[in-house]
């Protein structure tokens, strides 16, 4: 589904970028990774929602390093 009609970006495009960038935290950063910029801003809420849906990094199985 097209999320951003100004840049013709789909939810699939956004999810692809979000899944590879743990440090991404804003719509502007997501658009930067996709090589474009926010124009009218109507899609910003949808992009933020996709960012919030991103699963938290699972640290339950991180190794415990003993000195």
Q: What is the x/- site pattern for ligand FES, positions 2-41, by CB under 6 A?
A: --xxxx------------------------------xxxx
Question: CB within 8 A of 5, min separation 6: which ones?
Answer: 42, 43
- The Cα–Cα gap between 2 and 25 comes to 21
Please tell me whether residue 42 binds ligand FES under the rule CB under 6 A: yes
Query: Is the Cβ of residue 19 or residue 37 nearer to ligand FES in the bound state?
Result: 37
Binding site for ligand FES (CB under 6 A): 4-7, 38-43
């Amino acid at each position: 589904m097209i999320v951003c009609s100004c840049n013709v970006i789909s939810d699939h495009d956004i999810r692809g970028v979000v899944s590879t960038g743990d440090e991404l935290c804003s719509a502007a950063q997501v658009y930067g990774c996709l090589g474009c910029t926010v124009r009218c801003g109507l899609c910003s809420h949808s992009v933020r929602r996709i960012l919030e849906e991103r699963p938290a990094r699972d640290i339950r199985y991180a190794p415990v390093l003993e000195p």
